[in-house]
Structure formats: structure tokens, C-alpha cells
Amino acid sequence: MTILRADALTLGYGRSTVVHDVSLAITEGGVGLIGESGSGKTTLARAFLGLLRPRQGTIWYGGQDLRKADMRAFRRDVQPVFQAESLNPRRSVAASIAEALTDKTRVGDLLQQVGLDPSLAARRPHELSGGQRQRVVIARALAVGPRLLILDEPTSALDVTVQAKVLDLLAGLATERLLITHNLAVVDRLCRTSHVLFAGRVVESGPTGELLENPAHPYTLALRDAVPKLGGTPPEPGISAPPAGTGCAFRLRCPLAVPECERAPELRQVGEGRVAACHRAEAVLAGNNDGGGSLGRHG
């Protein structure tokens, strides 16, 4: 059963619209939102957490419009996992976790569940390592027994080996997840399905393994080839996207752009369970299949 689903969602701040017409469901096995800085990932996450009202479109929570839902039930079901810096520096681990608990004796159990020794309960965040702090953030989110975790770059502040351990922990949880990251190795590990965002639009969606192995959108391909390893850093955005309504937003950075790209591509099916918004998707897929040419996987 899909817990949350966005239907034709448009989001913005003040006069600017930053997410355009996004539809996606949080399905089983984890869902990843991938994209470079500024692509709208956190904005979408905020809407999914009920913190930002859609300008257009609807977020469905179960069968109900989130705007009309019982927010107490929603806050139990859907929990954010932000970066460890979100912990209150003056609060002990126990106090941070117990905030959400009616049965305060569960703090020790929750610490164990995230692989921490209960003896750490009295410590403050600055007395913990980065990885331990991130585990505390996860324990705090788990305290209310959520069905879905919304994770925004949960491991980006950690070094690679610690990152891998926190990813193991997250992979072992039964809770569903929506994971926001620019790190493709993280979605590969934790998300069965992924959506790639560019300039506030979904440009490609599909099963994560296939999408990374054989991208159908030139932007996915560029991301994949630029960030091949766990802990890698994303490419800086190059030429900024052209204004909305003037064709494919990626075309000024696209090695395959043709005049047709001045007409905005619609998301369309490009394989089983896969969609991409690119007039050249077949060429991108073919370039990957034979592994050659400028579109072949590097290294």
C-alpha cells in the first residue's frame, strides 16, 4: 500500500516556482530522489512532510488529500531524518530521543536498535562521533513507530566507512523510505525505485539498478559518470537551465541536443517500468548498451 503519493505537484516560494508538475508514489523497497543542488529535492521532501503547501496538484496520504488528513496520525506515520546537525546541542541523547516517547524506558531499546550502546544515553551530541550522532537522529525518528522515513542526505556529512555502516543500518530497517541525495551509490543501496530531478522536473524514473546501469536521460548519464563512488561529490551545476517553457531545461548542457529539444519533452515510456523526458532517450540507451562513444560509462 502506497503511504504517500504526489499527483501533478507544483511547488514554489514567493514568486518562483521550483518544482513543476511532479507525480510520484512512495512505493515499497525505498524510493530515491536524485539531482544536483537546487534541483528541488528538499522542496519536494518538505511538501511530503506537510511543511509546504502545493501550489497545484495533490499529495495523497493513503486515500486522502494530505490537506484534509489527521495530522497527528500523519506525524506518527511519516518521520523526517535530517542531518545530525539538527540535534539540539544542549540536550542529552536520552532527552532528544525521549521527546517523542510516552514510554521513556524505551530509549535504551531504540539505541540498541540503531547499533549504539545504551551507556551513551547521557552524552550530548558533541561527545559523540558523526556516525553516532546520525544514529541518534535515526533513533529519534524511529521512536514514534513510523511507517515511512523521509531522509534528506542522511549520510553526506560522514566519512565513507561510517557512511557504509549507517547505510547498512537503514537498509536493515523494516520502515519504508524516501531518500533524497545527490549520491547515486546511496540510492543504489537503499532504493528499489529512483526519480531523477533536473530544474524541478522529473526527467527520468525507473528501477534504480537499471536506471544507473543504463540511463535513458543524458542528465542521469552525466550524474552517474560524475559521481561513481560512495562519498563522491556531485558536479557543480554548469550552464543554468533556460527559462521554463522554452524547451528541454537540460539542452544547453546536453551533448545530444538537437533542434527538436527546443520543444519541451514529455515524460514517456522508454522501457518496462521506465520513463524519461528526452527526445533522444533511445540514442542515450543505445549509447550505453554498446558502451562506446562519448556516452559510454567512464572507468
Q: Which residues bind ligand ATP (CB under 6 A)?
A: 13, 18, 35, 37-43, 182
Please count the residues of the chain.
Answer: 299
Q: How far is the CB of 35 from ligand ATP (least distance, A)?
A: 5
Q: How far is the CB of 33 from ligand ATP (least distance, A)?
A: 8
Q: How far is the CB of 190 from ligand ATP (least distance, A)?
A: 17
**Would you say 14 or 172 has its CB closer to ligand ATP?**
14
**Would you say 38 or 62 has its CB closer to ligand ATP?**
38
**Would you say 101 or 157 has its CB closer to ligand ATP?**
157
Buried-exposed string 176-189: b where 16+ CB fall within 10 A, e elsewhere: bbbbbbbbbbbbbb
Q: How far is the CB of 203 from ligand ATP (least distance, A)?
A: 13
What values do phi and psi take at 111, rounded to 5?
-60, -40
Q: How far is the CB of 152 from ligand ATP (least distance, A)?
A: 7
**Would you say 41 or 279 has its CB closer to ligand ATP?**
41
**Would you say 4 or 180 has its CB closer to ligand ATP?**
180
Nearest of 31, 7, 2, 33 to residue 200 by alpha carbon: 33
